[in-house]
Amino acid sequence: MTSSYDVVIVGTGAGGGTLARHLAPSGKRILLLERGGWLPREPQNWSATDVFVDNRYISPDTWYDQQGKAFQPQIHYFVGGATKLYGAALYRLRREDFGELRHHDGVSPAWPVGYDDMEPYYTWAEQQYQVHGARGEDPTEPPASAPYPFPAVSHEPRIQQLADDLAAAGHHPFHAPCGVMLDEADPPDSACIRCSTCDGFPCLVRAKADAEVLGVRPALEHPNVTLLTGARAVRLATDDAGTAVTGVEVERDGERERYAADLYVVSCGAANSAKLLLASASDKHPNGLANGSDQVGRNYMFHNSQAVLALSKEPNPTVFQKTLGVNDFYFGTDGFEYPMGNIQMIGKSQADMFKGEKPLETKLAPDFLLRDVATHAVDFWLSTEDLPVPDNRVTLDRDGNVRLSYSASNATAAKRLYHQLKSMLGRLGMHPDHLIPRHAYLKTDIPVAGVAHQAGTCRFGTDPATSVLNADCRAHEVDNLYVVDTSCFPSIGAVNPALTAMANALRVGDHLLERLGASRNGAGS
Ligand SMILES: Cc1cc2nc3c(=O)[nH]c(=O)nc-3n(C[C@H](O)[C@H](O)[C@H](O)COP(=O)(O)OP(=O)(O)OC[C@H]3O[C@@H](n4cnc5c(N)ncnc54)[C@H](O)[C@@H]3O)c2cc1C
Ligand code: SF4
């Protein structure tokens, strides 16, 4: 078969969508394969009931846990991938996250690239995804070669009060880095209208810095880029030696199709990228493509996360709440020398989201009526790093379905972070004894189904015996195969993963251009 394309990219999320935009001006023939379609623009985009209770944009996939019990993963198959629904908190990992870090439950391993290798790409990703933020407020932030491209999103009064109270208590709250196209200096012309339905919702007015709006659409302005939606990659075929991919098999409109290229990039998200490699087993790769190390699918991570709400003594009328973060406990605190993680805000609770949330109903009565909760809620997201554990892994059952085995790590550190926040509430104008889980934000009370921050199933490294990919994210065993998404993460840190996936896609994109003998602007190199 003759190659019709220079590069095939499978998946159009933070990794694939960003890479597509980077490669597009080169003039190289690029094919994007996306199993989903365009996320429809419709009034339901901003309906808490449709999005949070009826799970309108969750895929109908069925996965299985380690006991073989079926569950519906909270996953989104659309052009733009998970970023269509994300909260657009666009953090850099800390410099220390790229090195080896000792945690309560073990070691978070080093990356094969250091922070200094990533820094220019973080800066570029912040520009491409229009990150709003303020440098110099967060004591843990790594050095940056440029200011944020846009000013921080301002706090609304209740969150400003929270920032002031935190500062008065000796902490260092900062303006959270955020990818919304908000122009507070010129509201009539601002694409973003600062609404209450951002974090976890699609943006009806396309003002969220997601991988469809700022990755795929700009890429498609170039005639050399083709997108096929509804195109699910099911297998990668190789040559007889097993050292090069020769085609990707796709199911589209009920038919099997095959596409060929010189280079293949898998960007399906951590679980589905592992699935595609495992489903591509052959005589030369009996345990799955590029899986001689037996590492494909292993070390799955997704953060030890807790969505909680505290009850403000005064009403909290905040509309856009995700403007504040605290990293004072990221590397530990007095009395607990291990990393604990990041505290940030999440989208403001709305009464409609609480339907069916049993812990709320039982824990709050009689002090608060359920309908008062949304009025007083101040909503936090606590992220503790979960460690790469080999047995936390994606495998396939006989029918090719994803089986996800996962046991939590760093539970002690997560509990310490929770109690740290709880112990501070009284000084922050909140009721001291109320810190309540918000299952609705996770859209599930089954922890393993909350796959939003999935990472780590094809880790990159220098040793082919212990990693799947090399430092360029190329498979050690297959010359023209790359994995460019959160799969490559050897560890996940405790901040949100998307900006790192985007920055890494830009880094790998430079390598691919060099390999293709092309340049960023299309001139030959
Ligand atoms: C509700 C929610 C809130 C979040 N909030 C934040 C946040 O505030 N900050 C942050 O940093 N991160 C956040 N995240 C996580 C962030 O969105 C992900 O880390 C990021 O999108 C991962 O990028 P990726 O390229 O690995 O995968 P994705 O972005 O998921 O992209 C994978 C793509 O591959 C496609 N695909 C899968 N299998 C196939 C196949 N076989 N064939 C063809 N296409 C396929 C999928 O449809 C999808 O488009 C959030 C996620 C969710 C769900
Ligand atoms: S806050 Fe802005 S970016 Fe977010 S959904 Fe609303 S309009 Fe869109």
Q: Is the pLDDT of residue 247 over 80?
A: yes
Ligand 2 close to Cβ of residue 192 (< 6 A): yes
Please give the model's pTM, rounded to 2 decimal places.
0.97
Q: Which two tokens stand for residue 481?
A: 């195969």
Q: Which amino acid residue places its CA nearest to atom 50 of ligand 1? A: 86
pLDDT recorded at residue 525: 47
Arithmetic mean of pLDDT over the chain: 94
> In the 8-state DSSP scheme, what is residue 313?
S
What's the pLDDT band for 332 if we cut at 50, 70, 90?
Answer: very high
Smallest Cα–Cα separation from 179: which of 277, 268, 90, 70?
A: 90
Question: In percent, how much of the chain has pLDDT > 90?
Answer: 88
Q: What residues have CB less than 8 Å from 19, skipping those under 6 apart?
A: 9, 265, 267, 484, 505, 506, 508, 509, 512
Phi, psi of 78 (to 5 degrees): -145, 165
Task: Write the CA distances from 362 to 68, 167, 353, 440, integer angstroms.
Answer: 31, 33, 16, 15
C-alpha 85 to ligand 2 mean position (Å): 11
Question: In percent, how much of the chain has pLDDT > 70?
Answer: 95
Mean pLDDT of 376-401: 97
Choice among 224-233, 283-292, 417-426, 516-525 with the minimum mean pLDDT: 516-525
Q: Which two tokens stand for residue 129?
A: 């995804």
Ligand 1 close to Cβ of residue 125 (< 6 A): no
What's the pLDDT band for 366 if we cut at 50, 70, 90?
Answer: very low
Mean pLDDT of 370-393: 93
Mean pLDDT of 32-51: 97
Q: Is the pLDDT of residue 34 over 60?
A: yes
C-beta of residue 408 within 8 angstroms of C-beta of residue 304: yes
Choice among 54-58, 297-301, 441-445 with the minimum mean pLDDT: 441-445
Pocket test for ligand 1, best of 8, 35, 344, 506 (most atoms within 8 A of CB): 35
Q: Is the pLDDT of residue 358 over 80?
A: no
pLDDT recorded at residue 14: 98
Q: Is the pLDDT of residue 354 over 80?
A: no
Question: Rounded distance, CA 235 to CA 43, Å?
Answer: 37
Q: Is the pLDDT of residue 339 over 90?
A: yes
Q: Using DSSP, state whether 238 is helix, strand or coil.
A: strand
Smallest Cα–Cα separation from 36: which of 229, 253, 275, 215?
A: 229
pLDDT recorded at residue 522: 77
Question: Rounded distance, CA 513 to CA 515, Å?
Answer: 5
Pocket test for ligand 2, best of 194, 319, 321, 322 (most atoms within 8 A of CB): 194
Quick one: residue 345, left, alpha or beta (phi over 0 = left, psi -120 to 50 = alpha)? beta
pLDDT recorded at residue 453: 96
Ligand 2 close to Cβ of residue 180 (< 6 A): yes
pLDDT recorded at residue 318: 97
pLDDT recorded at residue 2: 46
Question: Rounded distance, CA 309 to CA 316, Å?
Answer: 12
C-beta of residue 491 within 8 angstroms of C-beta of residue 112: no
Residue pLDDT, tens place only, 418-463: 999 999 999 999 998 788 888 766 656 668 889 999 999 999 999 9
Ligand nearest the Cα of residue 212 is 1
pLDDT recorded at residue 304: 94
Question: Rounded distance, CA 520 to CA 517, Å?
Answer: 10
Query: Which runs of consecutive H residues, i.e. helices, occur in 300-410?
Result: 358-364, 370-376
Q: For strand 377-384 and strand 304-312, is the pairing parallel, antiparallel, or unpaired?
A: antiparallel
Ligand 1 atom at shortest distance from the alpha carbon of 76:
47
Ligand nearest the Cα of residue 456 is 1
Ligand nearest the Cα of residue 346 is 1
Write the DSSP assignment of 242-302 as a string of letters.
SSSEEEEEEEETTEEEEE-EEEEEE-S-HHHHHHHHHTT--SSSTTSTT-TTS-TT-S-B-
Question: Rounded distance, CA 155 to CA 172, Å?
Answer: 15
